[in-house]
């Protein structure tokens, strides 16, 4: 099988413009896949595309991208860091989609970005210094926990709509919500899957009732958590760039175009697929260990 002769680190994206004329379309595949064969590239692209589409409809795309990277042979820590960096660009599209709700959000809710950044960076730091063997043992429990959170998303959202929000708007509740968001950021920077439902709970503590406004803030806060973690992972050389470049493009395309297919399947169908993948991956890793 024809192999690429240069790696897919960010600098080569810049060099692509000049190399394309020398090497033709094959240069593009080298940029995107590095030393990957076509099978690995196809699986990574497909998983990220599906994750982007799922995130745009129901959330929980990490439960697809992360197991796929483990299946492709990456270590659990590298797979987690690579998935975080690769899927993050899809947040930009989601934030743009919620721009109307964000313009009307109260400034104090945007202040939750601060504990999100602090928690996300701390969680990423903890992952950096977690022994790979220990993280391997934690991964099945983390995936199972994230899957159970994902299953609870809709019942919790229904409960949040009927919550007595008025009494939760005091400064006392605000401090509690900020501390809770700090813990969400810590978990998100360390692993990431399932943080959406936790953030909806944090926002409900602060008295929000409009689920669309809550989702818009959730997108921004998740972007802050995963963004700061992604920067840390990049600086610490914890990601596998051939997958990152390829999957980032796929996630953006999935969020933009793949959502149509996901919507045709219906929210329930998408949720069932994600839940099945999560449980299957958790069970397989429990058996393996």
The C-alpha atoms of residue 163 and residue 152 are separated, in whole angstroms, by 16
Return the sign of the alpha-carbon dihedral for residues 171, 175, 177, 178: positive
pLDDT of residue 161: 55
| DSSP-derived secondary structure letter, 166 | G
The helix/strand/coil state of 143 is helix
pLDDT at 16 over 50: no
**For position 220, what pLDDT does the model report?**
85
Query: Which long-range contacts does 157-163 make (Cβ < 8 Å, 24+ apart)?
Result: 157/200, 157/211, 160/200, 160/201, 160/204, 160/209, 160/211, 160/214, 161/209, 161/211, 163/204, 163/209
Q: Which of 112-121, 143-152, 263-272, 280-289 has the highest mean pLDDT?
A: 112-121
Q: What is the pLDDT of residue 158?
A: 64
Using CB atoms within 10 A of its CB, is residue 193 exposed (0-12), middle (13-18) or buried (19+)? buried
Evaluate if residue 2 carries a pLDDT over 60. no
Q: Which pLDDT tens digit goes with each residue over 205-232?
A: 677 766 677 777 887 888 899 899 999 9
Spatial distance between the Cα atoms of 72 and 39, rounded to a whole number of angstroms: 10
Quick one: DSSP state of residue 167? G
Instruction: Please answer whether residues 75 and 131 qualify as being in contact, where contact means their C-beta atoms are separated by less than 8 angstroms.
Output: no
Cα separation, 60 vs 104, whole angstroms: 26
The rounded mean pLDDT for the chain is 74
| Sign of the CA dihedral running 243, 246, 248, 251 | negative
For 158-184, how does the pLDDT look when each residue is reduced to its tens digit (9 = 90+)? 665 545 555 555 666 777 778 888 988
Using CA atoms, how far apart are residues 113 and 31, in angstroms rounded to an integer? 34
> Could you tell me if 184 and 198 are in contact, meaning their C-beta atoms sit under 8 angstroms apart?
yes
What is the pTM assigned to this prediction? 0.71
């Amino acid at each position: 099988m024809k192999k690429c002769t240069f790696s897919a680190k960010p600098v080569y994206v810049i060099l692509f413009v000049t190399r394309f004329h020398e090497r033709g379309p094959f240069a593009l595949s080298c940029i995107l896949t590095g030393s990957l064969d076509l099978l690995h590239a196809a699986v990574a692209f497909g998983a990220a595309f599906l994750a982007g589409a799922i995130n745009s409809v129901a959330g929980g795309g990490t439960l697809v991208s992360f197991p796929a990277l483990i299946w492709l042979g990456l270590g659990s820590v590298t797979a987690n860091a690579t998935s975080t960096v690769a899927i993050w660009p899809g947040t930009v599209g989601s934030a743009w989609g919620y721009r109307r709700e964000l313009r009307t959000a109260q400034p104090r809710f945007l202040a939750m970005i601060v504990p999100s950044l602090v928690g996300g960076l701390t969680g990423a730091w903890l992952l950096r210094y977690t022994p790979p063997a220990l993280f391997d043992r934690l991964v099945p429990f983390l995936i199972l926990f994230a899957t159970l959170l994902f299953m609870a998303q809709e019942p919790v959202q229904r409960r949040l709509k009927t919550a007595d929000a008025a009494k939760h708007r005091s400064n006392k509740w605000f401090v509690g919500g900020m501390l809770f968001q700090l813990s969400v950021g810590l978990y998100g920077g360390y692993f990431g899957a399932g943080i959406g439902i936790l953030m909806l709970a944090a926002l409900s503590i602060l008295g929000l009732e409009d689920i669309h406004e809550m989702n818009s803030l959730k997108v921004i806060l998740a972007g802050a958590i995963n963004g700061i973690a992604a920067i840390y992972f990049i600086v610490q050389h914890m990601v596998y760039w051939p997958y990152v470049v390829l999957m980032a493009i796929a996630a953006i395309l999935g969020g933009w175009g793949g959502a149509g297919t996901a919507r045709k399947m219906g929210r329930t169908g998408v949720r069932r697929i994600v839940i099945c993948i999560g449980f299957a991956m958790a069970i397989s890793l429990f058996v393996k260990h």
